Amino acid sequence: MADPMKIRASAKGDVVDVRVLMAHEMETGQRKDADGNTIPAWYISEVVASLNDKPVLKAHWGPAIAKNPYMQFKIRGGKAGDKVTISWVDNKGDKRTDEAKVS
């Protein structure tokens, strides 16, 4: 399983600012190793964000996203103490879910 995501969520009024750093190699499938063999594609294909278990964002990604992707977004209607959950699935079926409390 991949390393935990670093999630920071802070509220200002009723708007929650969420910042996420995901640990993932994000291989495009176009690079070659030292022997000239193609490195297989391996990338996050779907990201879902939830506030208090209610989905608020769904993103479909591909191989063009950089290694260890960073994502930032805002959610209206949140407050300090709420729970933000981020989940991803990659093209090989690996999954990761982490959560943070809004400060």
Where are the domains positioned within the chain? 6-101
User: What residues contact 15, with CB distance under 8 A and at least 6 apart?
Assistant: 74, 75, 76, 78
User: What residues contact 36, with CB distance under 8 A and at least 6 apart?
Assistant: none
Indicate the CATH number of 6-101 among 3.30.540.10, 3.40.50.970, 2.60.40.10, 3.30.2130.10.
2.60.40.10
Residues 56-91: tens digit of each pLDDT? 999 999 999 999 999 999 999 999 999 999 999 999
AA identity, residue 103: S
- β-sheet bridge partners, residue 12: 15
Rounded to the nearest integer, the mean pLDDT of the chain is: 96
